[in-house]
Each structure stands twice: as C-alpha cells, then as structure tokens.
Amino acid sequence: MIEAFAQVFELQTLLLVFLGVFLGVLFSAIPGLTATMGIALLIPYTFSLPQVPALGMLLGIYIGGMYGGAITAILIRTPGTPSAAATLLDGYPMAAKGQAGKALNFATIASFVGGIISCVILILVAPQLASFGLKFGPAEFFALAVFGLSIVGTISGKHAIKGMVIAALGLLIATVGMDPIGGVPRFTFGSINLTSGVSFIPALIGLFAVSQVIKEVEEKVKGSQQKKIKFQRERISLKEHFSYWKDYLRSSLIGTFIGIIPGTGTSIATFLSYNESKRFAKKERKKEYGTGIPEGVIASESSNNAVTGGALVPLLTLGIPGDVVTAVILGGLMIQGVTPGPLLFQNNGTLVNSLFITLIIANIFMLLIGLFAVRFVGKIVDVPKNILLPIVVTLCFIGSYSLSNNLFDVWIALVFGVIGFLLEKFNYPLAPLILGIILGPIIESNLRRTVIESSGDLSVLFTRPISGIFLTIAIVSFVFPLLKSLWNRFKGNEEEDDSSLSA
C-alpha cells in the first residue's frame, strides 16, 4: 500500500493525471470531441511512459470526460457527450432563468460526489460485485431497457401523450441500419452511410443545439427576444448542498449500479436517475422538474460520474469493457503490459492500489478544475447572441463532421435540428426521442436473443427474477397513472388528466 502511494505521489504522475482530467473536461465539453477520442489519441504517447503515470493520465481523461459535457449542456444547450443529455433537461432552463452559475456549481459538486462514491464502492467490493454484472443476460437487458422506456412520462413534462408518440418515433429511428441479429441492412435506402444507423451524437447535437439556434433566430426576427440575462456567480452554501443529500446519494448509487452491468451505458444511468429523483420528490416539487431545478442537474451529473467507478468493476476484475470508452482504456492497459482479469488483483496488487488512489486524486482534480472553470465559462451567457449563435452553429457542424470525418453526419445534425425545432414549436418534448434512440437497439437485439436462447418461449422474461422485477415495475409505473387519470376523469375531476400521466 505504501509502495502504491509512493508511485502515485510523484510529480510526473500527478502532473499527468491533472493533464488527463483537464483534457477530459475539454474534450467532452466541445461537441464533436469525446473523451473516447482523447484517450485513443493519447495512447500512442503513453507507450514510452511508466505504468502508473500512463494509466493515471488515461483514467484522468475518463473521469474529466464525464463532467465536461455538463458545461456546454447547461450553457448553450449542446450536450458535448451523450451522457450529458439528461443534464440539459434542468440545466439549460436554470441557465435561461439566470442561474447558470448555480447550475454549473451543482453539476461540479454532483460529479465529484458521484465519482467518489463509486470509487469507494469499487475499492471495497469490486470482486464481489463483478459476478452480479454477469447475471444480466438478454432477458435482463430487455427488461431493464423496457423499464427505461417507462420513464417517458417523467421526462415529457406536461405532455405525456406527446412524449409517448415521440419515444415511438425514436424507437423507429433506432431500427435504421444493420439488423443486429440477421446482419442485413434495413431502411438504409441503399446508403452506406446509414448502415451503422443514424449517427447518435450528430442527431443529439442537431436536436438540442441546432434547433435552439433556429429558435433564437426566429425570436430575433419576430422581435420577441426575452430580457437580457446577466451571468452571476452564485455561491452555494454547504448547507444548501446538504439539503439535497438524498439526491446525491441515490443518483450515485444508481450510476454505480448501471456502470457495473457491462453494455448498458451512461445515458441510461442518467435518465433512470432523473426518473427516480422525480419519483421520490415531494408531490408539489414533482411538477417543477424540467423547469430548471437543482435536483434534475444533480440526478444526471452524479449518476454519470458514478458510472466510472462502476464500469471499472467488470473491466479490472473480469477484463470486460462495458462500453466504448472502457474498451479503449483496456487497450491502454494492455499496451502497458497489464492484463485486466481475474488474475490482476492476485498478481499485481500494488498496481491495483495505485490505480485506486489515482482515481480518487483524479476526482479531486476534477472538482478543482470544475470550481475554477465555473468562474469563467459561465460568462458565455453574457456573449451577445449575434456573436454566440454563429459560433455555436460552427461548433455543431465541425463537431458532427469530426466525429468520423464524414460530411453525411453534418446533414444528420441539420435535419435533426429542423426536426427538433418543429417538435418544440408544437410542444412535443425532445428527450423521449433520445430515450427511444438509445433504448431501441437494446430492446430489439436482446428480445431477439432471448427468443433464440429460449427457443421462442417468452415466459422466461417473467420467470427470471431480475427481469421479472424490472418488467413488473415498468408495467405498474406505466399503467398506474393511466388508471388514475381514467379514475379522475370518471369522477369528473378533469383538471389533472394529462399532467398526472407524468407522475
């Protein structure tokens, strides 16, 4: 253990971890650059470094990369990474109310708390938890994703029915591309560009950022510009943070849990956590989700950083990467001669301890960088719209292009920008579309795998305990509000009907 401390507390290691976190924040804040890309591009430079500094830098990017997306999501409604998509549900409305500083502050603290809690869980019980993640087979993934879909009501605000229509559209968009089981292209209209589906990040950038620009231009033309908002730095007392302790804790645990299951992904963690936050909120507070309240930001940001510690459980103990970022980190580990897997903890205990200490330090660096950055980046909201909007548009299109150096993705961003603009104009919520696109492939491929493995017997979905529980909760939370609304209508109390669906 002392040896591990000595390895980490070297100037070179600390500097590289700091650099990693900084680059991670930067890469994920800028649309079109991702932490995954950052890690992949830096791996060749780690060839010549010793183990601990090299891996420290990569883990630093990973951790910083979970946080940076929040900055652009809150300030300019452009989620730099998919994991920040849920952050803008309440983050951007907060900024629009003039509370950008507050929102960023909550996002920073939430990311730190999520990161640390998940690290502690990783350090204490990693080997014991690993086997739990493996219990998730096709049936369980299907059930979890269906449960994820049941939160459509929560993220649709006052328009639950419209939200369902949009979620269905999202599921439909998700079917474009290669059939995951049969291996044949679907709805690609002969275009090679569509064989791997509608590119997700360009669609995300289009839906939220490009559409927002179109909206603001429209407002300018119509002259219905809202009043000028000035950025204020708001200090949040520790007491105020503590008043949300349940939200911090719950979201961190959800994030860690989702992280441990290989193949689920950060976006799911953030949306589920947002949903649970609303579920446990007081009745009168529930209505305010989506209008810009700290709980929404905390839910999303705590959970996405908590995924880091969770996702390292299967990576380090089993050698199984749960998503693209951890797959790239696995490559980085192998280059350093480290083979993660069951033997790592036995044969290389010192290194494991060093990695654990590095993770904690990376989280502390992230907190410092975040708190420092909040002072400056928040000023973006003070930039006049006629200067800011062209910059945002440029960033959106360059970002969409640079993801895979493909001009087609720029068209996707543009088309989804128009779709997003039109949907919002007619009061259709956008978040369910994202949810549908994320969950569609998981639902489809795992349902079909379940059917193959059980030779067509669908009852396994309910007889397997984990999947049975998730499906039951999903059905109850879907049907119960409908029944309640019908009952209210039956009693002649029509006030609540549409909005109660979202409970």
Contacts with other proteins by CB under 8 A lie at 36-37, 39-41, 43-44, 47, 133-138, 178-185, 190, 192-193, 195-196, 199, 262-263, 314, 318-321, 324, 327-328, 331, 334-337, 339-343, 404-406, 445, 449, 452-453
Would you say 120 or 415 has its CB closer to other proteins? 415
What are residue 177's DSSP bridge partners? 186
Main-chain phi, psi angles of 120, to 5 degrees: -60, -45
Q: Is residue 473 classed exposed, middle or buried when 0-12, 13-18 and 19+ CB atoms within 10 A define those classes?
A: middle
| H or E segment and range at residue 376 | helix 349-377
Tokens 């879907």 -> residue: 478
Would you say 343 or 422 has its CB closer to other proteins? 343
Q: How far is the CB of 382 from other proteins (least distance, A)?
A: 36
As a whole number of angstroms, the distance between CA 405 and CA 192 comes to: 15
Q: How far is the CB of 336 from other proteins (least distance, A)?
A: 7
Q: How far is the CB of 32 from other proteins (least distance, A)?
A: 13
Would you say 47 or 480 has its CB closer to other proteins? 47
Q: How far is the CB of 337 from other proteins (least distance, A)?
A: 6
Joined together, the tokens standing for residue 64 give 């910083």
Would you say 34 or 502 has its CB closer to other proteins? 34
Joined together, the tokens standing for residue 350 give 């010192």
Q: Is residue 193 classed exposed, middle or buried when 0-12, 13-18 and 19+ CB atoms within 10 A define those classes?
A: middle
Would you say 339 or 394 has its CB closer to other proteins? 339
Would you say 14 or 324 has its CB closer to other proteins? 324
Q: How far is the CB of 217 from other proteins (least distance, A)?
A: 31
In one-letter notation, the amino acid at residue 170 is G
Would you say 330 or 501 has its CB closer to other proteins? 330
Q: Characterize 389-402 residue by residue with b for buried, 16 or more Cβ atoms within 10 angstroms of its Cβ, and e for exposed.
A: beebbebbbebbbb
Nearest by Cα to 300 from 113, 78, 61: 113
- Are residues 257 and 124 in contact, defined by beta-carbon separation less than 8 angstroms? no
Would you say 4 or 194 has its CB closer to other proteins? 194
Q: How far is the CB of 3 from other proteins (least distance, A)?
A: 23
Q: Characterize 302-331 residue by residue with b for buried, 16 or more Cβ atoms within 10 angstroms of its Cβ, and e for exposed.
A: bbbbbbbbbbbbbbbbbbbbbbebbebbbe
Nearest by Cα to 333 from 139, 87, 46: 46
Q: How far is the CB of 402 from other proteins (least distance, A)?
A: 10
SS3 of residue 178 by DSSP: strand
374: number of Cβ within 10 Å: 20
As a whole number of angstroms, the distance between CA 462 and CA 465 comes to: 7
Q: How far is the CB of 137 from other proteins (least distance, A)?
A: 4
Distance between alpha carbon 61 and the CA centroid of its chain, in Å?
16
Would you say 241 or 448 has its CB closer to other proteins? 448
Beta strands in 112-219 (DSSP E): 177-178, 185-186
Would you say 304 or 336 has its CB closer to other proteins? 336
Q: How far is the CB of 48 from other proteins (least distance, A)?
A: 9
As a whole number of angstroms, the distance between CA 329 and CA 46 comes to: 12
Cα 170–Cα 171–Cα 174 angle in degrees, nearest 5: 90
Would you say 298 or 311 has its CB closer to other proteins? 311
Joined together, the tokens standing for residue 28 give 């994920």
162: number of Cβ within 10 Å: 18
Q: How far is the CB of 330 from other proteins (least distance, A)?
A: 8
CB-based contacts of 119, cutoff 8 Å, min separation 6: 308, 309, 356, 359, 360, 363
Would you say 105 or 199 has its CB closer to other proteins? 199
Would you say 337 or 384 has its CB closer to other proteins? 337
Crossing angle of helices 465-490 and 138-149, in 10° steps, is 20
CB-based contacts of 444, cutoff 8 Å, min separation 6: 174, 175, 180
Q: How far is the CB of 132 from other proteins (least distance, A)?
A: 10
Q: How far is the CB of 138 from other proteins (least distance, A)?
A: 6
Q: How far is the CB of 339 from other proteins (least distance, A)?
A: 5
